[in-house]
Amino acid sequence: MRKIRIGTRKSKLAIAQSEWVASWLRERYPEFGVELVRITTSGDRIQDSPLSKVGGKGLFVKEIEEALLREEVDLAVHSLKDMPAELPKGLSIICYPEREDPRDALVTNTPSDLETLSPFSRIGTSSLRRKCQLISMRKDLEIIPLRGNVDTRLKKLKTEGLDGIILAMAGINRLGIEVPHLEPISTSSLIPAVGQGCLAVEARSQNGFMRELLRPLNHPETELRARAERSFLITMGGGCQVPMGAIAEIREKRLILKAILLDWVNYERILVQREGTLSDPEGLGRAVGEEILSQGGREIIQRMLKEA
């Protein structure tokens, strides 16, 4: 029996996401054996520093991509928001399953939302994107650095005197976990990370066999939205040190992309929304990125990278 080896991080969420893809493969192609290969990434080993200080989101995929290139695994399942803008030569995203809820959510011990939180509440998150947008909404909030998996963050909500933490709705839904009190935050208030809620199945670019196997799992609308958002990310550059977000939607056969660049030095923000055709998602992403850069984004990015 031919085996399909899926590389994955060891976290509960990563295993749940990879097992979901593995189950789909087993059901559709019972002639293949499907196994998960659990890999510890640099991002998993470094838990005491913000990602922006230790190398960015690529730390969660680097070792898995190296295993792909060495042909130790056939596929990798990632959270798309963990993937850097540029993929290593020889690797491609071959499948975008249907997107989960892309929103962020406020999790609290007692019922509350961003408007009703007590003054000077302590909110846990290590995301610069979330921090800057939260402070722009509530300048009184104290943002507390918070790393770790979902379980670890939920424990710290109770043990470290926090009034709330910010989690991704997609992770909560995929894990099927109970949280104390959950308040989803509209994407019009807090713009998500690029690709938030999306899974990406990565493989060697020349592996046409795997591409064909996964084709029925690919969700065309999710792919278009993801490609527009990632094109914006590529245009902006800057990596994890530069807080930005983007969310693409399809309405009446038009692709709409809203994106934001935030300044963690003085909390400036540039917000742009444009629409384009479904035939050119990358063109829309570039156009939005270039507009933000032309509106002062280049100077903001240079200032933040200098301060980093």
Which residues does the annotation mark as catalytic? 82
Contacts of 281 (CB under 8 A, 6+ apart): 224, 225, 227, 228, 231, 248, 255
